[in-house]
């Protein structure tokens, strides 16, 4: 217990070791500062020219990536307020699988603007209310910015145009090739009702060597090892999956066998061999020609499997084993023995291919619709392959989002610039203190085109000035116009919102028409990013006190000294 001195913090209220940060000591501003630091960490990784980060995690594994979700997953953030932003980013990853970086930098920018408002003298409650109104209006404006949509999800070119922008943000230069590969893989596994599409059905196998252009799509499952026995190929075969070792069962207790002569020794091993042969013969008689082992395969068992012409492959990952079961329609068995007919699966082709010196085994179903498609990725380094895999993963997640909402809005920062203009116009019409918060909310969206321009090495101020000019909303003219002229005006206005940042700077202006260039973002992804960024910023602003308990374990904090008044 604390000493009974007037003004001692939390006098006798909490156990010793508690830390308390109050709004009087600027807790809100300190929280904002922590959030801005974490946001600025991932901010430079936005867009096609985003910088990579090297993160060495607690297991000393080196991760080289510009994917915000991966960076935040590997960084162990302990500040409670910054954790709120990381959680919002993780929620975006779970919900959409893309735009995690936008959540972080938008939330960081909203908090930075809120800090200016707090220094101006606004209360946090006024800022929170202003942000809430601005968010509602921003989502309405976003609905009006639709410029295209994926009409036919089963058309590879239609699908590739939506995937391309997402992959370009991670793998600039290879987006056309990768987008077509992802679209091909997705269409191979797309069910009759696209809404039931499962992202897990598109797998990735990384094989070192070669170049990215040598990657390809395989309809079926690919395992990065060859079969263990001498049989390397099977067609129209029944498959048995065993999660137990295929070997002579060991007794639980150790037994001692006393043998008096050589004949007894020969008979002892013969009995063991006979038992194993009977078990494998049972499998062969049931019609099984492919055995998948989830654990080890004994040498004796391997000998008999080869003799009976049964293909055997070891798959040690229980997740891969489970997926293979769903592809071939088998039930994993926990004991060695002949399975029931309904416990066995069927596969059209099991074959061994050589890809860049590595031998891989492919389980393939020949019919049009397959349950799993695998992208075999080639690349020079493991880090590069992992980064390509993240880009592919984002592309597949976008397809899942398209099944919910196929509308597309202009990318390259064009949508954000239009939101800045529309929200600023709304702030001008709003009375009271809320207008300051709405204006700052609008300014926060400027961060996306600014970061895109900076990372591409352009003069951000100059590019933003051009974007503001292109997106400026003309005040409605007072003179009455004919309907035809009005319509023409409307058409002109429709074309305005597509000017975005040209990172290639091909024409020297630093701007381009995002719709013409095919740089399109999914509306539903942006919608979620704005929602989650605003929500997390408002949550951080609403916090006025952080109370941290002492961590469990470790040495006890020094207690009160009973002899404090003695000399």
What does the pLDDT look like over 209-223, one tens digit per residue? 778 887 888 777 787
Identify whether the C-beta of residue 159 lies closer than 8 Å to the C-beta of residue 186.
Answer: yes
DSSP output for 359-403: EEEEEE--SSS-S-EEEEEEESSHHHHHHHHHHHHHHHHHHHHHH
Which long-range contacts (C-beta less than 8 Å, at least 24 apart) are formed by 72-81? 72/38, 72/42, 72/100, 72/104, 75/41, 77/38, 79/31, 79/34, 79/38, 80/546, 80/548, 81/31, 81/32, 81/34, 81/35, 81/540, 81/543, 81/546
> Which pTM value belongs to this model?
0.77
**Cα-flanking dihedrals φ and ψ of residue 477, to 5°?**
-70, 140
Q: 53-56 and 62-65: which strand pairing?
A: antiparallel
**Euclidean distance between CA atoms 87 and 544, whole angstroms:** 19
Distances (CA, A) of 341 to 238, 240, 345: 9, 10, 9
pLDDT digits (tens, 9 = 90+) for 361-392: 888 777 656 677 888 888 888 888 888 888 88
Q: Which domains occur in the chain, in start order?
A: 18-147+411-473+515-549 (1.10.560.10), 173-219+371-405 (3.30.260.10), 226-250+271-369 (3.50.7.10)
Cα distances from 7 to residues 20, 22, 179, 548, in angstroms, run 14, 14, 64, 20
As a whole number, mean pLDDT of residues 178-187 equals 85
**3-state SS class at 483:** helix
User: CA distances (Å), 168 to each of 304, 459, 464, 518, in order?
Assistant: 52, 22, 22, 11
Contact by Cβ (8 Å): 276, 248:
yes
Residues 400-455 pLDDT 10s: 888 888 788 887 888 888 888 888 888 888 777 888 888 888 888 888 888 888 88
- What pLDDT is attached to residue 341? 74
Token pair 């099944």 is found at 403
Q: With bands split at pLDDT 50, 70 and 90, how would you rate the model's confidence at 3? A: very low
Structure-block tokens of residue 84: 């709120």
């Amino acid at each position: 217990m604390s000493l009974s001195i007037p003004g001692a913090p939390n006098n006798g209220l909490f156990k010793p070791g508690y830390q308390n940060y109050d709004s009087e000591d600027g807790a809100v501003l300190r929280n904002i500062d922590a959030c801005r630091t974490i946001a600025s960490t991932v901010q430079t990784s936005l867009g096609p020219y985003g910088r990579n980060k090297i993160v060495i995690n607690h297991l000393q594994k080196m991760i080289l990536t510009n994917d915000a979700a991966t960076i935040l997953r590997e960084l162990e953030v302990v500040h409670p307020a910054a954790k709120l932003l990381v959680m919002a980013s993780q929620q975006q990853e779970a919900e959409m699988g893309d735009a995690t970086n936008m959540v972080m930098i938008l939330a960081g920018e909203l908090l930075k603007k809120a800090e200016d408002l707090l220094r101006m003298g606004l209360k946090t409650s006024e800022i929170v209310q202003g942000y809430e109104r601005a968010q509602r209006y921003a989502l309405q404006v976003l609905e009006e910015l639709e410029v295209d949509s994926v009409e036919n999800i089963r058309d590879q070119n239609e699908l590739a145009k939506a995937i391309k922008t997402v992959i370009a943000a991670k793998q600039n230069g290879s987006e056309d090739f990768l987008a077509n590969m992802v679209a091909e893989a997705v269409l191979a596994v797309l069910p009759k009702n696209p809404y039931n599409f499962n992202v897990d059905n598109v797998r990735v196998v990384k094989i070192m060597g070669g170049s990215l252009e040598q990657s390809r799509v395989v309809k079926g499952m690919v395992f990065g090892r060859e079969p263990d026995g001498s049989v390397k190929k099977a067609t129209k075969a029944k498959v048995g999956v065993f999660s137990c070792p295929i070997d002579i069962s060991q007794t639980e207790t150790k037994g001692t066998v006393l043998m008096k002569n050589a004949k007894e020794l020969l008979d002892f091993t013969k009995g063991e061999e006979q038992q194993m042969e009977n078990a494998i013969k049972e499998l062969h008689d049931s019609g099984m020609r492919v055995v998948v082992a989830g654990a080890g395969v004994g040498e004796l068992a391997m000998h008999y499997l080869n003799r009976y012409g049964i293909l055997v492959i070891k798959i040690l990952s229980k997740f891969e084993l489970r997926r293979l079961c769903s592809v071939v329609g088998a039930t994993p068995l926990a004991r060695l023995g002949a399975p029931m007919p309904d416990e066995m699966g069927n596969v059209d082709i099991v074959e061994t291919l050589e890809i860049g010196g590595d031998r891989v085994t492919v389980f393939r179903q020949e019919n049009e619709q397959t349950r799993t498609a695998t992208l075999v990725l080639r690349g020079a380094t493991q880090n590069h392959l992992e980064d390509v895999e993240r880009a592919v993963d984002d592309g597949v997640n976008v397809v899942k989002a398209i099944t919910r909402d196929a509308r597309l809005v202009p990318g390259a920062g064009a949508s954000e610039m239009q939101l800045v203009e529309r929200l600023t116009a709304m702030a001008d019409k709003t009375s009271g203190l809320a207008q300051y918060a709405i204006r700052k909310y609008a300014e926060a969206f400027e961060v996306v085109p600014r970061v895109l321009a900076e990372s591409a090495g352009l003069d951000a101020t100059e590019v933003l000035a051009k974007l503001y000019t292109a997106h400026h909303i003309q005040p409605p003219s007072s003179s009455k116009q004919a309907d035809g002229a009005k319509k023409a005006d409307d058409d002109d206005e429709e074309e305005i919102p597509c000017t975005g940042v040209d990172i290639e700077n091909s024409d020297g202006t630093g701007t381009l028409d995002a719709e013409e260039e095919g740089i399109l973002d999914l509306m539903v992804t942006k919608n979620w990013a704005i929602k989650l960024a605003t929500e997390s910023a408002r949550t951080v602003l609403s916090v006025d006190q952080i109370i941290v308990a002492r961590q469990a374990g470790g040495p006890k904090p020094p207690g009160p000294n009973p002899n404090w008044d003695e000399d």
